[in-house]
Amino acid sequence: MKILGTLAKLCAILAGLLMVFITLMTVTSVLGRDLVGKAITGDFELSGAACGAAVGLFLPWCQYQRGNIIVDFFTAKTSEATQSWLDRAGALVLGIVMAVLAWRTTLGGISSFKSNSGTMMLGFPEWIVYSAIVPGLALTAVIAFTQAIQGFAKEETESNPELAV
């Protein structure tokens, strides 16, 4: 599980760098528009592409940290064993959903590549965005399946109070 945590952290760092890029590009474009009268052409297209990739890359860290929303209103008073079983079942369902999304996003990227689909202003190849999203979805699926099989280690939640839900 430690290697998955390291990969998830690397994905989150890359996503953070993408967000910094978006911020710097947006500030540059706005300042350019206001001060010089010239904005970065296609800045909104690049922002959308980078945001899509960043969201996909933040997902593994969120799942690894158990940062997804857990509705435990009805299960808060159940036994620890029941809660563990429900957590594992939830991780399994999430893993299946992420695996299907990774598969379908891969097919979408292949289709986009074959059709030379690009953005309207810049003609930026859309398949690049798809290929940036797929690794995060796939890693999230692997992490969720691992959590469904192994459960959530007691020491994991004790060493990180944020994981104790």
Tens digits of per-residue pLDDT, 73-104?
777 888 888 888 988 999 999 999 999 999 99
CA 55: distance to chain centroid? 4
pLDDT tens per residue across span 17-68: 999 999 999 999 999 999 998 988 888 899 999 999 999 999 999 999 988 7
- The residue count of the chain comes to 165
Cβ atoms of residues 47 and 54 within 8 Å: no
> What is the pTM for the complete model shown?
0.83
Q: Exposed (0-12), middle (13-18) or buried (19+): which is 113, by Cβ within 10 Å?
A: middle
**Above 50 in pLDDT, residue 155?**
no
